[in-house]
Structure formats: structure tokens, C-alpha cells
Structure 1
Amino acid sequence: MTNFSQFEFRNLPGFDQNTFDGFDKAIPMKTLVIYCFDPRAAEIPKAVADHLGDEVYPGENITDENGVRIGHTRTLFALSNGGGRALQSLQSIATMDYLFHYQNVVIVHHSFCGMTSYTPELLIEKFHTHHHTDISGLWDHEDMAIEDYEKTIKHDVDLLDHSPLVPKHLNLYGFFYEINSGELTEVVRVPASERSAS
């Protein structure tokens, strides 16, 4: 069996996980964008970076004199999953706050997403028919499909707003992206100042 432990930060000489305070100096992350892994929607992170105006995306690697990658100039990270849903992103949101102390989480749903091709009830039925498994109680029906873009975007931002895994210092945004025109429309915004007060 191959031992890859030499590539773990915990095992580097001088690294102390008890005093570690993030990778902010190496990668100045400010924003996490959650969007669908549909390849037709691949331009979403760049569209969000341009919309916010003060982001670097895609950025470039920073290397030392030996060519070792020691950082990156990117300030916006992209996280994709089916439909760009918030529920599947909670663990990453919590971890990234520990690693990078970032400021914004952006949810983006796009036009003609595959998750609009069915209802939660149909997905439950088809899964039962094909796999003989009942998934009806595994998660809320609102998280299983996109039945109304505006409602789903607001649902996802609300889910983040009320989750203990999403620190209160984060600004939350929800956008709709039209894949043919490239138009990005803001649907909802919850500033950190309003989250802290609630």
C-alpha cells in the first residue's frame, strides 16, 4: 500500500494544527459559489465574479523559486453539485470557513436545469421502481427538485441562513443564471449584518 502521509499538512515539519489560523495568506478566498455541475453552466463562477466586481477568477498559481505551488491569486471558489443545491454544500461551507475565513456564499440555479424535469414525487417513485428503495424520508421534498426557480433559490438561501453550519458573519446571495444569454439575476440577498441580528 502506498503511503501518502508526506502530503498531509498535519505531518509537515513545523505545522501545528492547534495554532493553525487558515490559508488566507496563500489563497485570499472571499466568496464560495455553489452551482450546478451541468457543463452548460460552467461560466457561472466567472459571471458571479464579474457581478461582484472585486473578485479574482480564475486567477493563477503562485510558485516559489523551486516551482512549488505555494498559493493562488483566486478569491472565488466554485463548488458544484446536482442543481447547485445548498443542502449538499453544508459540510464544505463549514470547512471552508475554518480554512479560509471567507465572506460570501452564493447560490446559483440555472435555466433548463435537469432538476426541473421531474417533481419530488416522481423521483421517489422512479427510485423505488428501479432500485426498490424508499427515499421519501431521507430529505425534505424542497431539496429533491427545482419546481419553481425563485422559491427554490430563496429556500436554499433560507436553509443556509438558519443552518448552524453556516457562520453568521457570511453574506448570503441567491442568483438565477440564464445559460443562453449569460444573464445573472439576483433573487435574494441576506447581508451578514441582518443575519447577526436575527
Structure 2
Amino acid sequence: MAHTPKIAVIIGTTRDSRFGEKPAQWIAERAKARGDWQVELVDLKDFDLPLFNEMASNAWMESEDSRAVAWQKKVGEFDGFIFVTPEYNRSITGALKNALDQAYVEWNRKAFGIVSYGGAGGTRAAEHLRTIGIELQMASTRSAVHIGGSEFMAVHPLGGDPKPMEAIEGAIGNSAVAMLEELDWWVRATLQARDTQAKAA
């Protein structure tokens, strides 16, 4: 393998009142603590993506909007991803779906894990995200971190007195360890396969 795996932790919501930064920073610190990845927090707010309006996916033709191209270049820097997403009406956010749609080849044959939160721990959003990942030719970890119920209310401002994420590690810490371990396996496997393919080409 040519380099240390580079992992993006993507904050999957752009709403002003969002909660996503808190679990994103928490899982990013957990990922960095491994010591064997380069980890970067990627905020969709920083990219000002338009709604997808290209002639076609960049699987078929180059995108024209410079903001979409900048996003594609950013996605292309990484070997794997951790998506941090709330559940909105049983799915992921519109902002995250749009960001996924704005690239294609840059997602291909890479792995991802999920941290979700909200109704039922965001499990329905996570399952939807996995099916989108399949279409993007990505590999998902089996394990994910789901923040719901009393744990969600303990760390979210809606609970009245939000605690730090560390306060609920007893409930979600093992899931985080499992997800990160699985992500490491898939990232290294897909990275090696892409390197082999590139050398053959």
C-alpha cells in the first residue's frame, strides 16, 4: 500500500441549528486516536454546493459548475469516509444526498462507516445511506453508531442540559470501536485493490 489511509468525517447537515458537529468531532477524535489514519473533518457548509443541475453524472461527462468540481476534487483526496447524519423523515438530509449526487467516480470502490442520530437512532437514514452507497460502488461497514433515545436527549440541546459526547460512551463506545475496525479493514482492502488496478493500467 502506497500511503497512510486518509479518512474524511463528513458532517451531513448544513442547517444553522444542526447538532451534527458534536458527534462528528467526537468520532473524528476517536478515529485520530487510532494513530494509523490521516483524519479530516469535512463540513458540507464549506462547499456551497448548488442543487445538482449537471447534464449527467460525472461518470459520463465532466461537471461544469466549479463548486461541483471543487467538491469532486475534495472527495477524491480520501480513501474512506465516515458520514455523520441525522434522520429526516426516515432518510438522510437533502444536503447530504445532493453532495453524494455531485460526484460519482470519486466515491467508487471506497469504504464508509456511519454515525447516525435522531428517531430510532437514525437507523432508517443509515439504511438508506447504505443503499445509495451501493449505487456509488462503495462498501459499507456492517457496524454503525446509532444515537437515539435517552442517549440522544442527554447530549442534544433539546434535552435541556446537554452533556458532552463522552457522557454516553458507555452506550455507543463499543459500536464506534467495531465500526472503526471494520472501516479500517475495508479501506485497506479497497485501497490495495485500487493500487493494484492502477499499476496494471
> How does the TM-score come out when normalised to structure 1?
0.36
Higher helix share: 2
Higher strand share: 1
Q: From the CA coordinates, give the structure whose radius of gyration is larger.
A: 1
